[in-house]
Amino acid sequence: MSEHESSSDPSSLSRRGFLKGIGVGTAATGLITAVKPLAEAAGNDPSLLGPGEIPVTLAVNGQSRKLNVEPRVTLLDALRNRLDVTGPKKVCDRGTCGACTVLVDGNPIYSCSMLAVEAEGRAITTVEGLGTPDRLNAVQKAFVDHDAQQCGFCTPGFVTAATAYVRKHPNAGTDEICRGLGGNLCRCGTYAGMLLAVADAAKAKGGV
């Protein structure tokens, strides 16, 4: 499940390709349905985890956070429900909409589609780690300037995906930006502002 690091540039992949690349989508549900056999086997195989809670340490926004979670808990639910890191949003909960996007070792991933236990030992950055209301990063500032949000529920995911994209593609043009943000969905319809915002942020090279 960590093969996605081997893909040289995940942000250039389509949503489907990206999902396929990290082998998610079925993994989480697969584990839930496999709870019983796991439980029976766990006694014999020390490499199997659970089904009860196990201690996990997550590096979130530069802080080491200890928590106990069942192995079936997604990174998204661990962040939101256990650590009160609620920037990443739960919307589709199956790797479609991108509202839960976080950076894992600098790469954008859908945190609804990664298990918390898999994220151990990796650097997790959520939208909260990119900037604060008083110190916005270039993408966040550009989102505010271009009013690239309405209800704002998709905004953290877009800001996170856009930040990762702009870091890798500082000279991105409109078509490329559209591609970079193709894995996120907005319901209010803020794409016009987003496009201008990300183009602005792309110009502010290295500022994110």
Partner 1 sequence: MATSQWPDAAQRSLLGTRISRVDGPLKTTGAAKYSYDQNRPGMLWAKVVSSPHAKAEVSGIDTSAAEALKGVKAVWKDDLKEVQYAGQIVAAVAAETEEIAVEAANLIKVDYKPVEHVVKDTDPELSKERPSKREAGKVEEALAKADIVHSGHYGLPVITHCCLEPHGQVMELREGELYVWPSTQNVSGYADRVLGETVEVPQNKIHVDCQHMGGGFGSKFGVDKWGTINAILAKQTGRPVKLMLDRDLELMIAGNRPSAFASIKVGAMKDGTVTAVDTEVWGTGGSGGFNAPPVPYVFTKIPNTRIVGKGIRTNRGGQRAWRAPNHPQGCFLTMSALADVAAALKMDELEFFQKNVAQTDRAEVYTEELKIAADLIGYKAKAHLRGAGAAGPVKRGLGISMHTWGGRGHPSECDVTINPDGSVEARLGSQDLGVGTRTSVGIVVAETLGLPLAAVRVQLGKNEYSKSGASGGSTTIGGIATSSRLAATAALNEVMAKAAGQLGVAADALEARDGNIRVTADPTKKIAWKNACSLLGANAVTKRGVCVPGDAEKEKMISQGVGGVQIADVSVDVETGVVTLNEMVAVQDCGLVINLKTAESQVYGALIMGITYALYEEAVYDLRTGRMLNADMEFYRLAGIRDVGQLKVHMMTGKGYDDRGVIGLGEPPVISPGGAIANAVANAAGVRVPNLPLTPDRVLAALSQKGAMA
Least Å distance between CB 122 and partner 1? 19
Residue type, 117: V
Helix (H) or strand (E) holding 158: helix 155-168
Q: Does 140 bind partner 1 (CB under 8 A)?
A: yes
Q: Does 188 bind partner 1 (CB under 8 A)?
A: yes
Least Å distance between CB 105 and partner 1? 20
Distances (CA, A) of 158 to 67, 97, 119: 27, 10, 21
Going by their DSSP bridges, the two strands 101-104 and 123-125 should be labelled as antiparallel
Closest to partner 1 by CB, 5 or 145:
145
Q: Does 113 bind partner 1 (CB under 8 A)?
A: no
Q: Does 94 bind partner 1 (CB under 8 A)?
A: yes
- Please give the backbone phi and psi of residue 49, each rounded to the nearest 5 degrees, phi first: -110, 150
Sign of CA dihedral 156, 91, 72, 2: negative
Least Å distance between CB 158 and partner 1? 9
Choosing from 2, 7, 12, 150, the residue that interacts with partner 1 (CB under 8 A) is 150
Closest to partner 1 by CB, 10 or 156:
156
Choosing from 13, 109, 159, 172, the residue that interacts with partner 1 (CB under 8 A) is 159
Among residues 111, 151, 150, the alpha carbon closest in space to that of 127 is found at 111
The reply to whether omega before 71 is within 30° of 0 (cis) is no
Which spans of this chain sit near partner 1 (rule: CB under 8 A)? 70, 72-73, 77, 80-81, 84-94, 96-97, 99, 126-128, 130-134, 136, 139-140, 143-145, 147, 149-156, 159, 178-179, 181-182, 184-195
